[in-house]
Amino acid sequence: MMSASKLLVVGEMNEASRHDAWQSGGNYDNYMGRWSRRIAPRFVEWIEPAPRGDWLDVGCGTGELSNAIVAHCDPKSLIGIDPSDGFLSKARDKVRDDRVDFVAGQAEKLPFPSESFDVVVSGLMVNFVSDRLLAVSEMRRVARRGATVAFYVWDYPGGGVEFMRAFWAAAVDLDPTARDFGEDKRFPYCTRDGLAALAENAGLAGIDVTAIEAQTLFRDFDDFWRPFTLGTGPAPGYCASLSPGAREQLRSRLRTVLPYDRDGSIPLKVRAWGVRGRAP
Ligand SMILES: C[S@@+](CC[C@H](N)C(=O)[O-])C[C@H]1O[C@@H](n2cnc3c(N)ncnc32)[C@H](O)[C@@H]1O
């Protein structure tokens, strides 16, 4: 199998993040959006928002969290912000509501005045930005005094994304250098304590962290494997970088090691950390 380290272009950090491509909203939804969709409603319920608030969804992607906000939280207004035009276009198709607007922008430099929103949230974004402390600090800055600032990320270090853990375990068996690309290695701070410290350093008060778990049931092996071949996200990006032969080896390895139910489905789980605090 081709060694991932042969792809090294600049620094290790750049190399590990080189597959974080966020362009095709459809491919993202097939790979990850469909599972973020399971966490988002439970996350917004957990943060107990007051109705009729002004909301901001940072790194809104294809609109899974925004969708849950509209469905469950009766917002007065909601802005979703993301740098990816492809994802924003998918979000606009998905969430059609007069109260909602999707705009282009970066978490590290939110284009809003201080103290503009009642609830500022983010799903699966904080670990993908260049400066997560700045991003969460910006979320706090644009929140009104006493407003909720909250986010969720996968419990990568705790193996909380079982389908990714299975993928990377098989990849590393075949190519030890793939270890550097695994999210558990890249995002070691995505623990209860690490995320609480991030929220505290960003200036939030009254911080609380909880585990939110969901089932990820794959119909069959193809339902599991195909999203990895679509190129959107770190593991699919790695998969796309392999030669056809190496990719086939990885596919065969995974096919034999996954846990199957009698009907051929693959029952796995995901666990996210929800983090909430208040803007002081
Ligand atoms: C894993 S996706 C999460 C999308 C969505 N929130 C969800 O839960 O499905 C990561 C998102 O972070 C966005 N992102 C990457 N860098 C960003 C930045 N600097 N500022 C804001 N969003 C960013 C990507 O475009 C992508 O939409």
For the record, the structure tokens of 206 come out as: 């009254």
Rg (CA), the chain: 19
Test site for ligand 1: of 17, 44, 82, 138, most ligand atoms within 8 A of the Cβ: 82
Q: Tell me, using a 6 A CB cutoff, whether residue 237 lines ligand 1.
A: no
Q: Tell me, using a 6 A CB cutoff, whether residue 82 lines ligand 1.
A: yes
Which is the closest atom of ligand 1 to the Cα of 106?
Answer: 20
Domains of the chain, residue spans? 4-278
Share of the chain above pLDDT 70, in %: 92
Q: How much distance in Å is there from the Cα of 56 to the middle of ligand 1? A: 13
Q: What's the pLDDT tens digit per position in 116-132?
A: 999 999 999 999 999 99
CA angle 68, 136, 31 (to 5 degrees): 45
Identify the band that residue 21 occupies on the pLDDT scale cut at 50, 70 and 90: low
Give the chain's mean pLDDT: 91
Distance between CA atoms of 257 and 168, rounded to whole angstroms?
A: 12
Q: How much distance in Å is there from the Cα of 122 to the middle of ligand 1? A: 8
Q: Tell me, using a 6 A CB cutoff, whether residue 128 lines ligand 1.
A: yes
Match domain 4-278 to its CATH number in 3.40.630.10, 3.40.1390.10, 3.40.50.150, 1.10.3720.10.
Answer: 3.40.50.150
What is the crossing angle of helices 192-201 and 132-141, to 10°? 50
The dihedral through the CA atoms of 220, 221, 224, 227 has a sign that is: negative
Q: What's the pLDDT tens digit per position in 220-273?
A: 999 999 999 988 788 988 998 999 999 999 999 999 999 999 999 999 999 999
pLDDT score recorded for residue 16 = 63
Q: Is 156 in contact with 184 (CB distance < 8 Å)?
A: yes
Tracing tokens 């030669």 back to the chain, one arrives at 243
Q: How much distance in Å is there from the Cα of 95 to the middle of ligand 1? A: 17
